[in-house]
Structure formats: structure tokens, C-alpha cells
Amino acid sequence: MSHRPRTRTVLSCGLLLVPLAVSTAACGGSASEPLSANPYDAGDQITANTPDGKQKADPDKPIEVSVKDDDARITDVTATDSTGRFVRGELSADGRHWRTTVPLAAGTRYTVRVSTEEDDGTPGRKTLVVHTTDADGQLTATFGPESGEYGVGQPVTAELSRPITDPKARAIVESALKVDSMPRVEGAWHWVDDKKLHFRPKVYWPAHATISVHSNLTGLKIAKGLYGGPSKPVRLTTGDRLEAITDASAHQMTVLRNGTSINTIPVTTGKPGFSTRNGVKVILGKESFVRMRSSTVGIAAGSSDSYDLPVYWATRVTWSGEYVHAAPWSVGSQGAANVSHGCTGMSTGNAQWFFNTVRVGDIVKVINSSGDTMTPFDNGFGDWNMPWKEWRAGSALKNASSTTGAAERQQDPGSDARLRPKI
């Protein structure tokens, strides 16, 4: 063997005439005793399944370490990843074999420190550095909305870089998407489709909450050949709880701040055939001026319902073009009749006040309309119209306790016909 020779010095503790201090030193051993010796390099004793030289290890396989000599055993193994986190492993009963027991990450450096001991107590030590191969594919998440202040109705979204269909892979991904809020609330992710998730609390976010969204996907094995990559975190805050409740049959909007009414506004909503959608909507954006043309929502030019109007103080609530906006042409009907093509119209002064009072993420709820109920995902954020039990059923972690959550990055409207306004 290549380590130092095993020489032993016999020391006596039985001479009573020797001073106590000297006797104690003698009984403690000397530098030649195994227990006081510096550990030798046990490299010749240790075998591992890790590639030599510049070759990298397969992250789908565990790191395994063994001792070759019959008169030696492994006493301790410490394995850490590149961030210093410990990696769990197990040592065989005879002390001759050790292996990792948790999945390894792709593209990661692991440091494995092995301690050994021979039959006579001589200690040895060896440090191995293992680099795992990079993943063939990488999954990242884009969180939304962008960091900033929002209303208490704003969901959090995660857009994945590739579709995930396998239930087990979905559970791995979802468990790595973290949403923390202060104060804490009950909430859950819901898979909208194979690439998109939304997170919302059971009820609205608390006023003046802080919401942090981040991913633990980096290096995580999701499926064969697919590992997680880095994702940019977002930090959201909420303001006051602003709710605008429109009673279509009473032709009136009541605006509440933290549960207290701060304004009552006469309005007009959709007329028969163009009824405004019922249910909870979330403000998507605000535009001080919009040119609204009926042709963009399928109404033929020149028909009795066609229009081409400059519209001011427009607050968007659906991607298909439903707004709360100034409608000076219908002031005579506001508070008395529904004459719009689906939007909620009010006087210019009231619309400007509403525009300046609300923020993206605030709640607009319509009741007592003959229209359909706002759908959850395909026309804005109708997430709150889905019952909580059904929402939880859309999680890949159905049996796990609920946690806290957030919403997705909104796309640039561009020239998509879904984004055309209507009045």
C-alpha cells in the first residue's frame, strides 16, 4: 500500500514514580499513534464510478464510492453541491460501500469527502470532485406580471419554456414554483394548459401584501433528459382592496375601498344581444384614449350597430375589448337603461375619476346581467369565477396542503383581433 508504514510504539502507564503530568501525556499517545496521526491520502484505497479526467458523470446515476482493501472501511462521507447544500446518501452495513440516495442535478459540481479507517485505527481521507453532464433539454419559467404594485385580484402566472404533460413531471415542476406572501394566505397553482399555470389565493390577496415568486427548477431533474434552468423571480405588492361592483339591472356601479363605499356611479351596460358578461374580472390595463371601431369586433360597417368613436379614460377588463370608459353620447341612458355594445359606459368626469382611482389587478364585478359569466382563462383574468374546489383540482399536487401564489406576464396586444375594443 502507498501510505505510511504502520509502526507502533509501546508506551507504559504503569510507572507510579513518574510525575502525573508526564504520565498523562504518555497515556495520550504520541504522533505515531493512529488516533493522533494525520489522515493519509486514501486515494489508492477508494474506487468510485465517477469518470476520470475531463469526462463528466451521468446525473441519472448515483455517485458510488467503495474501498478496495479488506482491512479498511468507510467511516464517513460528506457530499455537497456547488452551492454548499448537502446531498443525502447511505453507507452499507459493512462500511465498504456508499452511494447517493437523491437525484443529482445536471451541469453541477459535487464535492465528496470520504473518511476511512484501517483495522488498526489508522485514518485515511480522500476528496473527489464530480461534474455532471449538462441537460439535453432545459425547462424555465417566466413569471408574471412584472414586479410592481397591483390590485388584490391580480393572479400570478408561470409560462413554461416547453409543454409538460406527464402527471409526475407536472408535480415536480409545480413543487418547484414557489410563491410566498406576507401575510400568508391559502392558495394554489392551477394548470391552464401544458405550458401555463396560474396561482391565486382562495380569496383575494390581502391589502398591502408582499408577494415573492421564484423557481427552484435550476438543476432539477424533471424527466429523462430534461432538467430545470434558471428563472427570473418577481416581487409584487398590493395596494388597497379596490372593488367596482356593477349592477346591470340597477344601472349603477358601487366602488369600494377596503370594504367601504367611496363612490356610486350611474352607468349603462350591454343592451340585448350585447349583454355585458357577469362575474369577476380583473383590470388588465388603462388607456387614456382608444379609437373604437365596430368592425374590429365583427359588426359590419354601415349596419345599425356599427360605430367608429374616439373614447377616453378607457379601463380594459377583457382582451376581447370590454372596457369601463367615458360614454358622453349615452349620458341620458346612464342610470336608467342598458344601451352599450358590452362595455360599461359612464360620464366623462366619472370615467376619469375611475381611471385615476383604480390600478391593474383591481376587481371589476358585474352582477344581474343577462350575459354569460366571464370565463376563467381565455379572455383575461376570470380566475375568480372558478370555485375553489375546482381550482384545487387543477393542481398536480392535489393532496398537498395549499400554499401562497401569483400571475403571468401579459402579452403585448399587437395587432391580435382579440384585443380590439368595443363599446
The CATH number covering residue 175 comes to: 2.40.440.10
- The tens digit of pLDDT for each residue in 333-390 reads 999 999 999 999 999 999 999 999 999 999 999 999 999 999 999 999 999 999 999 9
Average the pLDDT over each of 52-56, 145-149, 265-269 and give the range with the smallest value: 52-56
| Residues 102 and 142 reside in one and the same domain | no
User: Structural domain tally of the chain?
Assistant: 2
| Residues 254 and 347 reside in one and the same domain | yes
Radius of gyration of the chain (CA): 34
| Residues 172 and 69 reside in one and the same domain | no
Domain holding 310, by residue range, is 135-423
| Residues 26 and 160 reside in one and the same domain | no
Question: What is the Cα–Cα distance from 137 to 165, expressed in whole angstroms?
Answer: 15
In a domain, 1, yes or no: no
In a domain, 394, yes or no: yes
| Residues 56 and 145 reside in one and the same domain | no
% the chain with pLDDT above 90? 59
115, 131, 147 - which closes a domain = 131
| Residues 28 and 169 reside in one and the same domain | no
In a domain, 303, yes or no: yes
| Residues 202 and 71 reside in one and the same domain | no
The answer to whether the CB of 163 falls within 8 A of the CB of 194 is yes
| Residues 221 and 115 reside in one and the same domain | no
| Residues 92 and 203 reside in one and the same domain | no
pLDDT at 296: 65
At residue 170, the 3 state secondary structure works out as: helix
| Residues 260 and 350 reside in one and the same domain | yes
pLDDT at 417: 33
131, 155, 179 - which closes a domain = 131
Type and span of the H or E element at 221: strand 221-223
In a domain, 11, yes or no: no
In a domain, 15, yes or no: no
Is residue 2 pLDDT above 60, yes or no? Answer: no
pLDDT at 400: 61
Q: Which range is most confident: 23-27, 44-48, 156-160?
A: 156-160
In a domain, 207, yes or no: yes
pTM recorded for the entire structure: 0.70
Q: Indicate the average pLDDT of the chain.
A: 84
| Residues 199 and 305 reside in one and the same domain | yes
In a domain, 14, yes or no: no
Extract the C-alpha cell encoding 108. 453541477
Helices and strands in the chain: count of H runs, count of E runs: 4, 28
78, 99, 131 - which closes a domain = 131
The CATH number covering residue 95 comes to: 2.60.40.3780
The catalytic residue positions are 325, 343
- The tens digit of pLDDT for each residue in 300-322 reads 676 766 777 889 999 999 998 89
Question: What is the Cα–Cα distance from 311 to 420, expressed in whole angstroms?
Answer: 13
| Residues 277 and 359 reside in one and the same domain | yes
